[in-house]
Structure 1
């Protein structure tokens, strides 16, 4: 999250912290004390003091470099103290001393490698987080006169951003909303999503007609495809599905919509769930295949009703038997039981939880869930 304070690498695992304080030193210390105490209270024929070599190894996995060094030194001193307390014939002697010494050195080396790996991982995480905020910028509450909520889930558990995208852009001619899904995955899909969002933010602000905004998006996708072809990028995305929505201040009871081959949104309200007209537009980037541009549709959307837009990560989520997630039916049952489910925040959480539960947490595709409705206060932000 933006502004979140990161834990420095090497300060112990997050699970070994209590009230913000690291307790990573406790397991190796308990092991050290336990080995020493057990060795002191057994017979000379059963010496385990050499097991103390495990202590710096445990510290290397949990503590920082200096903590590991401290346990390596402490372990070596404890070994000498306990071993020399025995009579000469029972002492483990020089070979085990060398074992404990070398084990401590190797543990320190392993800890250094681990800390470097953690720092590299944090650096890469920062890069991914910056990319995510660039593509999917944080939207202020009430942005464009809309209450909104969004959830983004990637099929790759290590990634934080993929080819699904969404945004809200207020302007002089009302507020425009875009949700889309780039063909393919990986960095190529992220790059294409970034290109489309950049064009959307500019055109949605400046253009009065929603059809012109759609045309700008089509041209941008074609330009991106041609650029990738010129660069010899053979696996670049060739098209994107999406839904473009316009909220006009002068028409508070309906929305304009252009569908680019995407799953039609759902209107969710206290009276139930209904789909909007599906539209017949081709995906962005394939407009040359059809002479007519995608039509501008008008759908009723009363104040208090929420427009739910999702990518195919939701609608194509399957359970163990291969059954698709019944989104519309699922939401309808919940709204009938509790009309507050139609609120954007509740709705996206409900759809997210239902999708993950249906597929057992194994998403087959990136998933974006976006819910918007006119703010109860009314009035769009048209000068930003």
Structure 2
């Protein structure tokens, strides 16, 4: 229902913007007729093509300019000003504003097309990078959700991946600082390094060292990537590394809910010049029936109309559905309803659910 209201409001705004030039010219005509022939408001008709250039295309601006010129001639006849200096100035003003409006509309359309092309390339690149995760990975069931920010925001750098290797299942969820194609390129660097290292390295620290080296070759200045890496072993343990990222949400089979926070904070990836110590791996029990939700800050920093953040822990009961994908979709819809409008940052969520290692194909 909230989405329908937003769509209706957007359509109403478009209609009002499209009608505004006609409203302006109609108002000028009405004022001129009511004021009488002794007053001349002809020049104000140039407001029509001026406002038309803000939202309309070139043809529409030209048509409204011609309409303004016709109305100016009609009013000049009514005011007995045809051929007078005021009538000539009105026509010149309308012509000048129409030409300027056409040039402005052409420039706006070109910029809009360029922006659409860049956004399209970024979206395609992002879809290629963020390929679907497997529904089953080792002894885990997995589901992912990605909600893009509003249409005016540029493509973000949220990333996620699951790799199944000999030692268990390895996962990364991260968020690149910044937006646009550069963020997508940085995300590609992280994911490429992670996918290769997750198969080769003996532990998570080895994986992150490979990712860090790849990032250092690409990043410059104060660019960075926050991330959480996890490794789920079949012995019922979950090893986590947190690089300045929101703490994962752990949901026990018995109903207990807690944030899997590290003992000490660590800087994000890509800031090796700070010479700060990296995070220490920390382990949490991860038994059959347990779940863990890894997410980006677009989830917990989503605000409602009063400025309140999304209460993820309090809403975690929505993840109780038997199907992980359905559970995650319920949480996503609740997040969108909380904001009651377009998200201001991309929101990625990856849900892992532990099942019995002895029954890898069980639902």
For the criterion TM > 0.5, the same-fold answer is yes
- The counterpart of 1:274, out of the listed 238, 245, 258, is 258
Separation in structure 2 between the aligned mates of residue 45 and residue 362 of structure 1, nearest angstrom: 55
Distance (whole Å) between structure 2 residues aligned to residue 59 and residue 317 of structure 1: 36
Match of 2:330 in 1: 346
Q: How far is 1:134 from its partner?
A: 4.6
- TM-score of the superposition, structure 1-length normalised? 0.65
Instruction: Give the match for residue 222 of structure 1.
Output: 213
- Residues 354-373 of structure 1, C-alpha deviations (whole Å, 9 max, x = no match): 7x79xxx999x987543332
Partner of 2:154: 159
Aligned to 1:257: 239
For 1:50 and 1:317, locate their aligned partners in 2 and report how far apart those are by CA, in whole Å.
Answer: 48
Distance 1:42 1:375, change over 3 A: farther
Q: 1:35 to 1:375 in 2, by over 3 A?
A: farther
**1:135-284 matches, cutoff 5 A:** 135=129, 137-139=130-132, 142=135, 144=137, 146-151=141-146, 158-162=153-157, 164-170=158-164, 175-180=169-174, 185=178, 191-204=185-198, 206-207=199-200, 211-212=202-203, 214-225=205-216, 227-228=217-218, 233-235=220-222, 237=224, 241-246=227-232, 254-261=236-243, 264-269=247-252, 271-276=255-260, 278=262
Asked if 2 retains the 8 angstrom alpha-carbon contact of 1:192 and 1:221, the reply is no
Of residues 275, 297, 307 in structure 1, which corresponds to 2:292?
A: 307
SS of 1:179's partner is: strand
Shift of 1:60: 0.8
Deviation at residue 98 of structure 1 after TM alignment: 1.6
- 2:41 aligned residue (27, 39, 48): 48
Deviations 1:242-263 (A, max 9, x none): 2223365xx6xx3532424566
Whole-angstrom CA distance in 2 between matches of 1:37 and 1:289: 72
Distance 1:263 1:243, change over 3 A: farther
**How far did 1:58 drift?**
1.4
User: Is the CA contact 2:40–2:79 (under 8 Å) kept in the aligned structure 1?
Assistant: no
Could you give the per-residue CA deviations for residues 297-346 of structure 1, whole angstroms, max 9, x where no partner exists?
A: 4622433x43122456777999xxxxx97x9xx55544579956993233
- What is the SS of the residue equivalent to 2:170? strand
SS at match of 1:177: strand
The root-mean-square deviation of aligned C-alpha atoms, in Å, is 4.9
Distance 1:34 1:317 in 2: 43
Distance in 2 between the 1:334 and 1:66 partners? 51
Q: Partner of 1:40: helix, strand, or coil?
A: helix
For normalisation by structure 2, the TM-score amounts to: 0.68
CA deviation vs aligned residue, 1:80-127 (integer Å, no higher than 9, x gap): 133124435996432222222222222222222222222222233224
Instruction: Report how far residue 190 of structure 1 moved.
Output: 5.3
Say if 1:81 and 1:195 are closer, same or farther in 2 by CA, change over 3 A: same
CA distance in 2, matches of 1:295, 1:95: 77
Give structure 2 stretches of 5+ with no counterpart.
Answer: 1-8
CA 169–337 in structure 1, closer or farther in 2 if over 3 Å, else same? closer
**Partner Cα distance (1:215, 1:152) in 2:** 31
From 28, 32, 39, the equivalent of 2:32 is 39
2:36 aligned counterpart, secondary structure: coil
**Residue 200 of structure 1, CA deviation:** 2.3
Aligned positions of 1:117-136 closer than 5 A: 117-135=111-129
Alignment correspondent of 2:5: none
State the distance in 2 between where 1:102 and 1:317 align.
47
Deviates more, 1:58-67 or 1:25-34: 25-34
The alpha-carbon deviation at position 273 of structure 1 amounts to 0.3
Q: Distance in 2 between matches of 1:277 and 1:197?
A: 23
Q: Distance between the aligned counterparts of 2:169 and 2:103, measured in 1?
A: 57
Separation in 2 of the partners of 1:366 and 1:53? 42
Equivalent residue number for residue 96 of structure 1: 90
Rounded to whole Å, the distance in 2 between the matches of 1:290 and 1:98 is 70
Query: CA, structure 1 residues 380+72, in 2 after alignment: closer, same or farther (shift >3 Å)?
Result: farther
Instruction: Give distance in 2, aligned partners of 1:166 and 1:263.
Output: 14
1:26 — aligned with what? Answer: 19
Q: Which runs of 5+ in 1 are unaligned?
A: 1-12, 319-323
C-alpha change, 1:333 and 1:126, in structure 2 (3 Å) is closer
- Of the candidates 95, 105, 108, which is equivalent to residue 114 of structure 1? 108
